[in-house]
Amino acid sequence: MGCVDVLQAEGIRCFGPDKKAAVIEASKVFSKDLMKKYGIPTAAYEVFEEMRPALDYLDTAPVPAVVKADGLALGKGVIIAETREDAKAAVRSMMEEKKFGDSGSRVVIEEFLTGPEVSVLSFTDGHTVVPMISSQDHKRALDGDKGLNTGGMGTVAPNPYYTEEVADRCMNEIFLPTIKAMVAEGRPFKGCLYFGLMITDDGPKVIEYNCRFGDPEAQVVLPLLESDLLTVMEAVTDEKLAETEVKFSADSACCVVVASGGYPLEYKKGCEITMGELTGNTEVTAYENAAKITFENAYYRKDIGARALKAGRK
């Protein structure tokens, strides 16, 4: 909505992208077209502004398919449809039933990619990109990556699938090209740029961009930052990131989200939460603390980090 623009106009220093740059998250159509124009690897896609052509396209499109509302939808505007009928239902819910309001007035229908997902938050001053520790989000609501997409049910960092080789490819094929593309478009990006990636057999590809610290990824990434966050933010704002050390711990971190039953659809709010004595002892796992948090219909996934642990033992 341009809060950075307003604050800067008042002489208030602010960390984050201006409105022109923030469109990289605000419009999935913009971000997909940007990647196509500048050769940044992503899933094949089609954009639709009317429902009937979208439904017709789905008669022959490969499935599974990914249906995305163009605008912001609290992390829930992405539906992985296993069948054509599910995909059509997703289109109708967005374009006809207005499930996400105006955010669904345009939809993107994407090729379904397979492979480990990696989240990489990065600091960038519009010229230099400094990736943070990689992380692995768990977006599906239920164990075993079943159920609907959510805003995130838990995270771990670092992500074992994000090897040095993958990191190098991401820097050269995705991170730097994205920053350069935004400059070329007259939309230089300063702040935290989040790259949602899929490590496919063909290499890393972009699933989505966020123009901010992703949640819950930030909850496992920022605790591992050893440099002073304010110093880094000032370096980004002053375009001096290349001269600033950004150091991370070699430790790991885990976040488990305790949600209200029924999330991400209909769920009860305003429940009284009772918490036992939580511990910050790093030897105690996130699950031991999660078990001490109780409220009506509370639930959480029991397999956060299981995939990462299995990969790390290989």
- The pLDDT value given to residue 72: 85
Confidence of residue 145 (pLDDT cuts 50, 70, 90): very high
What is the DSSP secondary-structure string of 14-42?
Answer: --S--HHHHHHHH-HHHHHHHHHHHT--B
What average pLDDT does the segment 134-163 reach?
A: 94
- The pLDDT value given to residue 178: 98
pLDDT digits (tens, 9 = 90+) for 203-237: 999 999 999 998 899 999 999 999 999 999 999 99
- For residue 229, what is the enclosing H or E element? helix 229-237
**Model pTM?**
0.89
> Beta-carbon neighbour count of residue 280 at 10 Å?
6
pLDDT at 314 over 70: no
- The pLDDT value given to residue 21: 98
Confidence of residue 124 (pLDDT cuts 50, 70, 90): very high
pLDDT digits (tens, 9 = 90+) for 8-40: 999 999 999 999 999 999 999 999 999 999 999
> Beta-carbon neighbour count of residue 102 at 10 Å?
11
Q: Which residue has the higher pLDDT, 177 or 312?
A: 177
Which tokens in the block code for residue 261? Answer: 């039953």
Whether the bond between 64 and the residue before it is cis, its omega within 30 degrees of 0, is yes
Confidence of residue 77 (pLDDT cuts 50, 70, 90): confident
pLDDT at 193 over 70: yes
- The pLDDT value given to residue 162: 96
What average pLDDT does the segment 251-257 reach?
A: 95
Q: What is the mean pLDDT of the chain?
A: 94
Which tokens in the block code for residue 79? Answer: 């539906």
pLDDT at 277 over 70: yes
pLDDT more than 70, % of the chain: 98
What average pLDDT does the segment 259-263 reach?
A: 95
CATH of domain 254-308: 3.90.600.10
Contacts of 94 (CB under 8 A, 6+ apart): 67, 69, 77, 100, 103, 104, 107
CA 138 from chain centre, in angstroms, equals 10
What average pLDDT does the segment 140-150 reach?
A: 92
pLDDT at 65 over 60: yes
- The pLDDT value given to residue 281: 74
What are the backbone dihedrals phi and psi of residue 130, each rounded to the nearest 5 degrees, phi first?
-120, 100
What average pLDDT does the segment 66-91 reach?
A: 90
Integer Cα distance of 212 and 194 in angstroms? 6
Contacts of 280 (CB under 8 A, 6+ apart): none
Contacts of 105 (CB under 8 A, 6+ apart): 49, 70, 71, 95
Q: Which residue has the higher pLDDT, 282 or 213?
A: 213
Look up residue 248 and give its DSSP letter: B
